[in-house]
Amino acid sequence: MARKKRKKRLRLKPKVARFLIYFIFFIIMGIYTINESRKIIADFKYRETYEYKITEKGYKLEEAKKLIEILPDEKLNYILDNEYNEMYYNIVSQKYYLNKNFEKYIQYKEYHEDTSYEDVIAIVNVHANAGWYNESYETNINDGFLIIVNKFYHLDKSYERTDLQNINLAYAYANNSAAEIVIKKFKQMRDDIEEEMNVHLMVNSSYRSYEDQEEIYNEFKKVSLKYADSYAARPGYSEHQTGLAIDITSLEHPTANEFKESEEYKWLKENCHKYGFVLRYPEGKEHITGYSTESWHFRYVGEEAATQIYKENITFDEYYAYYIEK
Ligand SMILES: [Zn+2]
């Protein structure tokens, strides 16, 4: 009895069975069609993306992704309007790349093929692509210790810090003054190096007014303009007017040549950031600072900025362009 019953239960009417087969078939076909349509739609949508369009131009997927991550729409469209060029990706992937300078980097690199991408970025960021003194901006005097003065940023004739103090003759040659903090920090640095190496740092030159600088510059200019611009800053363009710059030497190695080769200079290069100073015109950065290397000229920017500048091995000009001005 039980056996008979089971058999009966399994048997379906042919109509029902046919219906079920068709039903299952249509379900499977339906799912397949939906999936296929989804794929087609997705593919169609992907073809509309920058990623597809840029890779179609010949860029690798990772390059396309980087370009999309960094560049705003109008610049991505610029890339799409132009032939494949490795330059775009190379520019955008530089550490100190700034979107506002995109076109300037391209233009500079096109005219200076041999210049490295790193240098192209630095040169354009600090405005040096314009040529020394060819562009001139008013210094933002509200930048505090990060105030910038170089061959593109100038101070007004009347600018003078209110906290200038005379520097004690025990560690400065006559008639030197600087911002209070500069003197304090220099004194700490001087004490530490004396304790460590038994050498005695001296301030050779520090604050200079616009008029002081004018006098110096005009003396040089008697030879020629080119000569003057090579050896002195134009009035208003000297960092010494900020009261935050000091020219350092030592009692042991008083001349510039001796000092450059001295142990105390080496020590300063490695340690001055701890006191908030940076070596302002380092070797090998002349194309960024506009100044031949000066082993004596140090600038106070505060410990935080000085440490970052030291660690990243950049100039204050580059730091200012990337982190302050942007
Ligand atoms: Zn100097």
Considering the domain architecture, whether residues 189 and 226 belong to the same structural domain is answered as: yes
Query: DSSP letters of 253-319?
Result: S-SHHHHHTSHHHHHHHHHGGGGTEEESS-TT-HHHHSS---SSEEEE--HHHHHHHHHHT--HHHH
Q: Which stretch of 26-35, 150-159, 188-197, 207-216 has the lowest confidence by average pLDDT? A: 26-35
Q: Does the residue 272 lie in any domain?
A: yes
Quote the ligand 1 centre to 210 CA distance (angstroms). 14
Considering the domain architecture, whether residues 210 and 316 belong to the same structural domain is answered as: yes
Considering the domain architecture, whether residues 161 and 298 belong to the same structural domain is answered as: yes
Task: Identify which has the larger pLDDT, 18 or 122.
Answer: 122
Pairwise CA distance, residues 113 & 106, whole Å: 10
Rounded percentage of the chain residues whose pLDDT exceeds 70: 97
Distances (CA, A) of 151 to 98, 111, 167, 223: 21, 22, 27, 20
Structural domain containing residue 172: 137-325
Q: Which stretch of 33-37, 69-73, 197-201, 217-221 has the lowest confidence by average pLDDT? A: 33-37
pLDDT of residue 30: 84
Q: Answer yes or no: is pLDDT of 11 > 80.
A: no
Distances (CA, A) of 52 to 49, 82, 305, 317: 5, 15, 42, 39
pLDDT of residue 8: 57
Considering the domain architecture, whether residues 172 and 276 belong to the same structural domain is answered as: yes
Q: Which of 160, 263, 294, 312 is catalytic?
A: 294
Rounded percentage of the chain residues whose pLDDT exceeds 90: 82
Quote the ligand 1 centre to 280 CA distance (angstroms). 9
pLDDT of residue 101: 97
Q: Does the residue 209 lie in any domain?
A: yes
Q: Does the residue 319 lie in any domain?
A: yes
Considering the domain architecture, whether residues 184 and 101 belong to the same structural domain is answered as: no
Dihedral sign for Cα atoms in the order 14, 19, 22, 23: negative
pLDDT of residue 32: 87
Q: Does the residue 57 lie in any domain?
A: no
Quote the ligand 1 centre to 323 CA distance (angstroms). 24
Considering the domain architecture, whether residues 118 and 149 belong to the same structural domain is answered as: no
Quote the ligand 1 centre to 238 CA distance (angstroms). 8
Q: What is the pTM of this model?
A: 0.88
Quote the ligand 1 centre to 324 CA distance (angstroms). 23
Considering the domain architecture, whether residues 106 and 151 belong to the same structural domain is answered as: no
Q: Answer yes or no: is pLDDT of 53 > 80.
A: yes
pLDDT of residue 5: 52
Which pLDDT band holds residue 26 (cuts at 50, 70, 90)? confident
Task: Identify which has the larger pLDDT, 1 or 174.
Answer: 174
Q: What is the DSSP letter of 58?
A: T
**pLDDT per residue over 100-118, tens digit each?**
999 999 999 999 999 999 9
Quote the ligand 1 centre to 309 CA distance (angstroms). 19
Q: Which stretch of 12-21, 37-46, 303-312 has the lowest confidence by average pLDDT? A: 12-21
**pLDDT per residue over 157-171, tens digit each?**
999 999 999 999 999
Q: Does the residue 27 lie in any domain?
A: no
Q: Which stretch of 7-11, 82-86, 130-134, 318-322 has the lowest confidence by average pLDDT? A: 7-11
Considering the domain architecture, whether residues 268 and 216 belong to the same structural domain is answered as: yes
Q: Does the residue 245 lie in any domain?
A: yes
Considering the domain architecture, whether residues 218 and 143 belong to the same structural domain is answered as: yes
Q: Does the residue 220 lie in any domain?
A: yes
Q: Does the residue 41 lie in any domain?
A: no
Quote the ligand 1 centre to 134 CA distance (angstroms). 22
Quote the ligand 1 centre to 247 CA distance (angstroms). 5
* 74 flagged as catalytic: no
Dmax (CA) of the chain: 128
Quote the ligand 1 centre to 296 CA distance (angstroms). 7
Quote the ligand 1 centre to 291 CA distance (angstroms). 11
